[in-house]
Amino acid sequence: MVKNKILTSQINLAKDNNQNAFNFLLNTYWDDVYNFQLKRIKNESGAEDITIESFTKAFEKIHTYNDKYVFKTWLITISKNLHIDHLRKNKNNYNLIELNNFKELKESSPSPEDDLINEQKLRSLKNKINKLKPIYKKVIELKYFNELSNKEISKKLNQPINNVKIRLMRAKRILSQIIQKS
């Protein structure tokens, strides 16, 4: 009974945009949503991506949550629907080619022409990254240009790792939209 009151209180605080309440809900339900996805797709990275996306969407839509239903069920339903969407699209829209291939651009031994093309691509990508809010720009730079792990980024920014994961997912989503518009 006490647990239900705490949960209801945290959900109501989250509806008022309380960051601590979001963190509480994320920490409370992370394993449930992640394990649900891991059983479905059997890929840790993919399960983590969809779990982060699930929480991002749930927190964006928290005001629509009806307390007649179990919160965990509501989260799992969001996660299940996102997984179905990903299957339909047959790809993850947030795996940006420019970011995923950045390492290859950096490590290959290209011709002078390739160097020029890669430099132009990198400049274009950096210009698009500069359009992001500073908090999103910073996590993208740390992850893809400084090649830090989520744990290292968490320590550097003095933020919980789950916040880093969500910021990274949001940054990638916004960057994807910027890239699609150009």
104 or 48, greater pLDDT: 48
pLDDT digits 0-9 by tens, 67-123: 888 999 999 999 999 888 877 775 444 445 455 555 555 555 556 666 667 677 778
* Mean per-residue pLDDT, 129-158: 88
pLDDT at 93: 45
* Token couple for 171: 């940054």
Residue 132: pLDDT above 80?
yes
Q: Report the percentage of the chain scoring pLDDT > 90.
A: 18
Q: Evaluate whether 49 touches 34 at the Cβ level (below 8 Å).
A: no
CB proximity list for 140: less than 8 A, separation 6 or greater:
99, 129, 132, 168, 171, 172, 175
**CA separation (Å) from 113 to 34, 66, 105, 106, 127?**
44, 58, 13, 15, 21
Domains of the chain: 2-89 (1.10.1740.10), 97-181 (1.10.10.10)
- Dmax (CA) of the chain: 68
**In 3D, which of 62, 69, 57 has the Cα closest to residue 16?**
62
Residue 141: pLDDT above 70?
yes
Give me the chain's average pLDDT, please. Answer: 81
pLDDT digits 0-9 by tens, 20-42: 888 899 889 999 999 999 898 88
* Mean per-residue pLDDT, 171-182: 80
